[in-house]
Amino acid sequence: MFLGSNSSSTTRSNLRVSLVDGASYGVMVGLGESYFAAFALAVGLGEVSAGLVGSVPLFFGGVAQLISPAAVRWFGFEQRWVVFCGCLQAAALIAIAVAAMLGSISLTSLLVFASIYWAAGLATGPAWNTWIERIVPARVRTIYFARRTKWAQVTTLLGLVSGGLLLQWAEQGDWVTTGFAIAFFGASSFRLLSVVMLSIHRTAPAATARETKTKDAAANAVSGDVSEPIVPHVAYQPQANAGRSRSASLATAKVLPSSDAESSIGISAIRLLGYLVFVQGMVQLSGPYFSPYMLEKLSLSYRDFVSLLALAFVSKIIALSYWGNFGRRYGAKRLLWIGGIGIVPIASLWIFSSNFWWIAMIQIISGTIWAAYELGFFLLIFDAVPASRRTKMLTLYNFANCTSWCIGAAIGGAILAYFGASEQAYWILFGISSLGRFLALGLLIGIQPGRRLMSRVRVRILSVRPNGASLDTPVLPSLQRRSTTATRLAVVESD
């Protein structure tokens, strides 16, 4: 995969530092962004503002992804762009930590810093996926990305729980904003550790990119994954200024699929995106305001608050294994229908009682159901898209997702403000959210699975949310398809 006689040791070194990168990033997610809304409440910005801080900045992250390919061309190499964005993300966390030390910050400033955080975080997505595909050999991707994902999940949970315990201690000692400062400084430190790991990767030069693709295809053939050829991403070309010759470009063009089905995004994928936009808008109508509801209206301690977040997160991780087996037997379409129907009543269940154990049960159910929804959606939407268009689809998916988060949260904030942010106003949001999720199911009628029959997908955890609907993004090199014969026995597989 790499030039030189020490190629094997270079690959092993890259895989080790990438594991540390993923683990460090997980701590940052759990310790940092998960507490933005709680921090807004602690400095007195109000309940509506807290909800907006946890949602509106995502829009800028979605926009940043659209300029990512041009930015990589300007930087000259994916690694440089990913490292730069990582430093920018760490700097945004430091700025928020400093504000926490001072004990005050304006809503505008917090939105700006949170927007920089999300823009820097999401802008790395397309470049990182292309880069990591060259780093991890095809023959080990299944095992490697499973291990990397599990490490990231564990460290995210550790960061989340550590942050909650720290804030609980700070609350008892009446130094809450200082506690937030320590948490955000800690999150920034782990992000910087992640950046160091990213910077010491040794990546294959551009001249070997085509050779890597050829070896990957051969490895897939040996392992039995021969249902689809390995092709370059046409929507995003890595190392654009690396001096490729015209003949190399023509050779690349020859291996691209020529059929109409392979040159455009399928109808099912477009309809699935439409469903995503609608249902996520309805989910985020109430989603960003669960933190203010729990901390202000229910007066939960930080310990109880983080316990409820952790319950939803852990139940989601555990449920993914079960839903993967279910999908293998019954298919991703049925899995998405179960998830889509299951998330309908989740928000409205909060209306019936404010008892901690009732809410804890809701959180367990919520994490379980959201696991089915997200796994089914990812499997179906990437099953409907040719390999050569996955990067473009992922960018489109993330932009649509972030935009719907922002619009839904803005409408929810307006409703909440109109009714004076009373407890009844929250109940109205929860009820409207459930009704909207039900109406969105109409967009799923008639959607058919693709012919490529996705077998598994790994995700990067970008955010942990109190309602179980965490923000995840697929790791494209982890996507695998089975041959036609194999898919008669197994359609979906997930760890």
Q: Is residue 144 part of a domain?
A: yes
pLDDT at 214: 46
Q: Is residue 129 part of a domain?
A: yes
pLDDT at 258: 39
- Same domain as 185, residue 91: yes
- Same domain as 390, residue 301: yes
Cα dihedral 376, 409, 314, 333, rounded to 10, equals -10
pLDDT at 90: 97
Query: In terms of pLDDT, which residue wins out, 90 or 490?
Result: 90
- Same domain as 269, residue 189: no
Q: Which pTM value belongs to this model?
A: 0.83
- Same domain as 280, residue 134: no
Q: Which of 187, 207, 227 is the last residue of a domain?
A: 207
What's the rounded mean pLDDT across residues 340-344? 95
**Domain total of the chain:** 2
Burial (CB < 10 A; 0-12, 13-18, 19+), residue 435, is middle
Could you identify the residue written with the tokens 């209206």? 297
Residue 429 sits in which domain range? 264-495
> What percentage of the chain carries pLDDT values higher than 90?
51
Beta bridge partners of 480: 456
pLDDT at 48: 94
- Same domain as 178, residue 284: no
CA 344 – CA 196 distance, rounded (Å): 43
Lowest-confidence segment of 48-57, 91-100, 174-183, 216-225 by average pLDDT = 216-225
Lowest-confidence segment of 14-28, 199-213, 388-402 by average pLDDT = 199-213
Q: What are residue 119's phi and psi, to 5 degrees?
A: -60, -45
What's the rounded mean pLDDT across residues 457-483? 77
Instruction: State yes or no: pLDDT of 382 exceeds 90.
Output: no
DSSP sequence for 385-402: S-GGGHHHHHHHHHHHHH
Instruction: State yes or no: pLDDT of 196 exceeds 50.
Output: yes
Query: In terms of pLDDT, which residue wins out, 154 or 251?
Result: 154
Q: Which amino acid is at 323?
A: W
Buried b / exposed e over 341-356, threshold 16 CB at 10 Å, is bbbbebbbbbeeeeee
The mean pLDDT value of the chain amounts to 81
Q: Is residue 88 part of a domain?
A: yes
Give, in degrees to the nearest 5, the angle at Cα 364 between 363 and 368: 115
- Same domain as 333, residue 193: no
CA 467 – CA 33 distance, rounded (Å): 15
- Same domain as 177, residue 269: no
- The confidence band for 473, taking pLDDT boundaries of 50, 70 and 90, is confident
- The confidence band for 452, taking pLDDT boundaries of 50, 70 and 90, is low
What's the rounded mean pLDDT across residues 484-491? 37
Instruction: State yes or no: pLDDT of 5 exceeds 50.
Output: no
pLDDT at 237: 40
- The confidence band for 484, taking pLDDT boundaries of 50, 70 and 90, is very low
Q: Is residue 242 part of a domain?
A: no
Beta bridge partners of 456: 480
Query: In terms of pLDDT, which residue wins out, 366 or 472?
Result: 366
Query: In terms of pLDDT, which residue wins out, 184 or 213?
Result: 184
- Same domain as 12, residue 135: yes
Tokens of 6: 């020490």
Instruction: State yes or no: pLDDT of 220 exceeds 50.
Output: no
Q: What are residue 280's phi and psi, to 5 degrees?
A: -70, -35
What CATH number does the domain containing 98 carry?
A: 1.20.1250.20
- Same domain as 194, residue 61: yes
Distances (CA, A) of 19 to 150, 318, 449, 452, 473: 10, 21, 33, 30, 17
pLDDT at 342: 96
- Same domain as 159, residue 46: yes
CA 375 – CA 328 distance, rounded (Å): 12
Q: Which amino acid is at 210?
A: R
Task: Confirm if 227 and 482 have CB atoms less than 8 A apart.
Answer: yes
